[in-house]
Amino acid sequence: MKEQTSMEGQGAVTIGEYLLGKLQEYNIQHIFGIPGDYVLRFYQLLEQSPIQHVGMTREDAAGYAADAYARVSGMSAVCITYCVGGLSMTNSIAGAYAEKSPVIVISGSPGIKERERNPLLHHKVRDFLTQKRIYEQITVASALLDDPIMAFDEIDRVFDAVYRYKRPGYIELPRDMVDVRGQVHHRPTVRDLPSPPEVLRAAVVEAVDFINKSENPVILAGVELHRFGFQDKLLTLMETTNIPTAATLLGKSVIQEKHPLYLGIYEGAMGREEVCQFVENSDCVVILGAFMTDINLGIDTANLDRGRSIYATSEKISIKYHTYEDVIFSDFLDSLLAAPIRKRRPPTLDWLEEPHELVDIKPDTSITVRRLFDILNKFIVDDMMVIADIGDSLFGSIDLKMHQSMDFVSPAYYTSMGFAVPASIGAQLGRPDQRPLVLVGDGAFQMTGLELSTSVRLGLNPIVIVLNNQGYGTERQLQEGMFNDIGEWHYSRLPAVLDAGRGFIVRTEGELDTALRKALANTESFTILDVQLEKLDCSPALMRLAERLSRKL
């Protein structure tokens, strides 16, 4: 967050101006969304401000873009019109809530004066509060700015909560309130209360004793370390103790994956067997900032025993069966770093050396999912980030090795299809130094892939790999049926429709290699690869899961 540029004492600030100032205070430089008459006055102000509006083709896509922008740059905002826009965005904001992504939702709405006697104004669903009530379920704080005396306070409250809890917040701005002057207030910004010292001390003493007495501790790093910007703390903890570290799928890229202490993704049966065994055989698993979700943990195949774990997140600190109340995550991490945790000899992890680097392209061999990811592993360069949609795009990515300070962005817990292409727009605007490599299933692409139109307008240059397996491949592994079939698209011909970009059909390893090289060279616009796979081919991770699950059946 930027230094607080106090707007107090100015007296003449309107609610709309205050809101715009607040966005800038939090360093939000782009705002995603589609206008409508209930939000036009605010859009006018927006256009006069230094914040850049990013128009998208759909509101749900704008929500995905904002979610990704928040993940890579700290916080984001969307601005939409009442109900037709706001309700269309609910799925993406629900995903941001579930996966802790701090997005400010600003919605225009009918003016307060217009609401008298409950007229049937356009876009109204049931009553004027319908949209607000829905958003209350999927945001950490919400406000209707219907009172100039409270408006500034309410805006502050929502921003504070979003910043603190890393979840979306909702601000509804009735159109006749935009130019109303707000009441200056003097409430200090809410800050975290410090951890109670004696509880913190007790937690750290127990944790350190547990770690020091353990034979083979392991750290399991989760997404919160990324959301709260604690990657450096993790790295210091690893390097001062030599404790090997695995990451969850949602936390993928939280540390540089080429680090010698990095084990890989722990995901129960879905991850590599060696990682799974290493973590599950440990007598002290230090779980930091991980959500214990099903997909994260390989759908019920993970086997983590509370009696052998330290579990520390922004919501809870527990050690074995003890829970320590009110201890702040960052205080706990800082105290661990300052504590006398013994430094071990660096572990020998020979099995980590995978033959990934040695990829000989067999030019005429048909492309498979396994080979696609092997070849991509070699192709990924330092200034790329990977944006993976769900399905095999996500499962296959488990084995991708992310370089230093690279981002991996995926809805790995909420798993809503159609995330990746729009998210790549937000991600690249948030991190202009990185080029998105988008991995997306054909089914998911058909939902939101035309958002590439916005990438073209903005001059962005994602490399989009469509895993074309003729339908809902993941679903086919669970239950085959005609409902898994989709229409056939000529994905590589989209450049003709959008009048930009380059498209390639990929059937063999040789064609993949050539197309990837051309994609790298095409920095002007998007490149799309239609990677034509066998209908039932799937990634090693999905195969591992199916195999391990079938042993249980």
Please report, as ranges, the residues that interact with ligand TPP according to CB under 6 A: 390-393, 415-418, 441-444, 467, 469, 472-475
Q: Which residue is nearest to ligand TPP (CB)?
A: 441
- For position 156 contacting Mg ion by CB under 5 A, the verdict is no
Binding at 416: pick from Mg ion, ligand TPP, none (beta carbon under 5-8 Å per type): ligand TPP
Residue 345 CB, nearest approach to ligand TPP (Å) = 42
CB 388 within 8 A of CB 402: no
Residue 542 CB, nearest approach to ligand TPP (Å) = 8
Q: Which is nearer to ligand TPP, 301 or 416 (CB)?
A: 416
- For position 393 contacting Mg ion by CB under 5 A, the verdict is no
Distance CA 90, CA 88 (A): 6
CB 412 within 8 A of CB 441: no
Please choose, out of 2-10, 34-42, 140-148, 436-444, the segment that lies near Mg ion by the rule CB under 5 A. Answer: 436-444
- DSSP string spanning 61-83? HHHHHHHHHHHHHS-EEEEE-TT
Given 63, 426, 441, 501, the residue binding Mg ion (CB under 5 A): 441
Please choose, out of 11-19, 233-241, 347-355, 434-442, the segment that lies near Mg ion by the rule CB under 5 A. Answer: 434-442
- For position 469 contacting Mg ion by CB under 5 A, the verdict is yes
Please choose, out of 49-57, 266-274, 310-318, 464-472, the segment that lies near Mg ion by the rule CB under 5 A. Answer: 464-472
Number of H helices, E strands in the chain: 20, 19
Residue 268 CB, nearest approach to ligand TPP (Å) = 18
Q: Which is nearer to ligand TPP, 406 or 444 (CB)?
A: 444
Distance CA 106, CA 121 (A): 20
Q: Which is nearer to ligand TPP, 473 or 501 (CB)?
A: 473
Binding at 406: pick from ligand TPP, Mg ion, none (beta carbon under 5-8 Å per type): none
Q: Which residues contact 12 (CB under 8 A, 6 or more apart)?
A: 181
Q: Which is nearer to ligand TPP, 135 or 491 (CB)?
A: 491
CB 210 within 8 A of CB 241: no
Residue 539 CB, nearest approach to ligand TPP (Å) = 8
Binding at 64: pick from ligand TPP, Mg ion, none (beta carbon under 5-8 Å per type): none
Please choose, out of 93-101, 262-270, 271-279, 437-445, the segment that lies near Mg ion by the rule CB under 5 A. Answer: 437-445
Q: Which is nearer to ligand TPP, 8 or 547 (CB)?
A: 547
Total Cβ atoms within 10 A of residue 195: 23
Distance CA 539, CA 522 (A): 28
Q: Which is nearer to ligand TPP, 385 or 466 (CB)?
A: 466
Task: Read off the DSSP letter of residue 57.
Answer: S
Binding at 451: pick from ligand TPP, Mg ion, none (beta carbon under 5-8 Å per type): none
For the record, the structure tokens of 473 come out as 């491949």
Torsional class of 546: left (φ above 0), alpha (ψ -120 to 50), beta (otherwise): alpha
- For position 396 contacting Mg ion by CB under 5 A, the verdict is no
Please choose, out of 220-228, 286-294, 470-478, 517-525, the segment that lies near Mg ion by the rule CB under 5 A. Answer: 470-478
- DSSP string spanning 450-514? GGHHHHHHHT---EEEEEESSS-HHHHHH--SGGG------GGGHHHHHT-SEEEEE-BHHHHHH
Given 426, 443, 449, 495, the residue binding Mg ion (CB under 5 A): 443
The kind and range of the H/E element at 428 are helix 420-430
Q: Which residues contact 299 (CB under 8 A, 6 or more apart)?
A: 268, 269, 270, 545, 549
Residue with tokens 């706990």: 332
Q: Which is nearer to Mg ion, 473 or 503 (CB)?
A: 473
Q: Which is nearer to ligand TPP, 388 or 402 (CB)?
A: 388
Distance CA 158, CA 150 (A): 12
Question: What residues line the site for Mg ion (CB under 5 A)?
Answer: 441-443, 469, 473
